[in-house]
Amino acid sequence: MAIPCEYREVILKAADVSLTLGGNVILRDLNLEIRDLFRPGCVTGQVVGLLGPSGIGKTRLFRLLAGIDKPNKGTITIGPKAIPVERGMVGVVAQNYPLFEHRTVAGNLELAARCAGLSRQDAAARAYEYLKRFNLEERAGLYPCQLSGGQRQRVAIAQQFLCSEHFVLMDEPFSGLDLIAVDKVSKMISEVANSDELNTVIVVTHDIQAAVAVADTIWLLGRDRDEHGKIIPGARVKTTYNLVERGLAWREGIADTPEFMDLVREIRAAFPSL
């Protein structure tokens, strides 16, 4: 059963986005949007999973959403005021969780806050606030080399939220992890997203099960075919899966249910045609 919620204002939108590189059409007439999900009595952020076959253009879309690259056509805007995205507005958590190794955890967060324009005093206060929010207070004086992989990831996410405030893109956060570690990362992503009403985490991954387990929305990237079955160059969001409507969002133990496995099989079956 779907949990009651309300879709409010659009907080991220891509409209008619196309990207061509070296004469090759990578993305074509792509449209997508994320709305603020509101649940009475709950703080509810958004988690979106971006799925698609290797080489389909996920990384290129990732870079466009982050403001790192610009599309040849179309617009990408963020926030209720629909501000055109620029580099630095959206945090990016890469696979290796890059941190400044010569700075402590607190130092890394303070630097991120300074880069966001805060004074030294305000940056220290904001860093402390995020240390508490991300359960990192006991690690504040440690250096990145003294942290576990999960702790590094948590620091990297906190760092990016300090820079971008509400939007973070994560590149393959489940790569190379065993099942127990994947579950821990999924819970951490949910916890981070739900720490603020406007927090939005977009997860780019090849792991269909992990994406369905953590997300409230899934975007499936693929290409169209003509009447002869020939691929039309340029990917777009072929299907959007609303996990809230399917009753698969915000539920403990969802991965053990038949409905969960049905959706995983449905998405996996779609891959060969993408």
Q: What number of other Cβ atoms are within 10 A of residue 171's Cβ?
A: 19
The pLDDT score that the predictor gives to residue 28 is 96
Identify the band that residue 207 occupies on the pLDDT scale cut at 50, 70 and 90. Answer: very high
pTM of the full structure: 0.88
Q: Which of 60-74, 95-109, 158-172 has the highest mean pLDDT?
A: 60-74
Residue range 141-157, pLDDT digits in tens = 999 999 988 888 888 88
State the average pLDDT over residues 181-189: 85
In this predicted structure, the answer to whether residue 184 has a pLDDT above a threshold of 90 is no
| Closest by Cα among 194, 133, 134, 200 to 167 | 200
Identify the band that residue 14 occupies on the pLDDT scale cut at 50, 70 and 90. Answer: very high
- The helix (H) or strand (E) run that includes residue 152 is helix 149-164
The pLDDT score that the predictor gives to residue 1 is 66
Between CA 190 and CA 188 the distance in angstroms is 5
Domains of the chain: 6-96+169-273 (3.40.50.300)
In this predicted structure, the answer to whether residue 8 has a pLDDT above a threshold of 80 is yes
The pLDDT score that the predictor gives to residue 247 is 92
Give the mean pLDDT of the chain.
91
Per-residue tokens: 11 = 């907080």
Sign of CA dihedral 220, 198, 170, 164: positive
Q: What SS3 state is found at 38?
A: strand
Identify the band that residue 130 occupies on the pLDDT scale cut at 50, 70 and 90. Answer: confident
The pLDDT score that the predictor gives to residue 115 is 83
Cβ atoms of 71 and 64 within 8 Å: the answer is: yes
Residue range 31-42, pLDDT digits in tens = 999 999 999 889
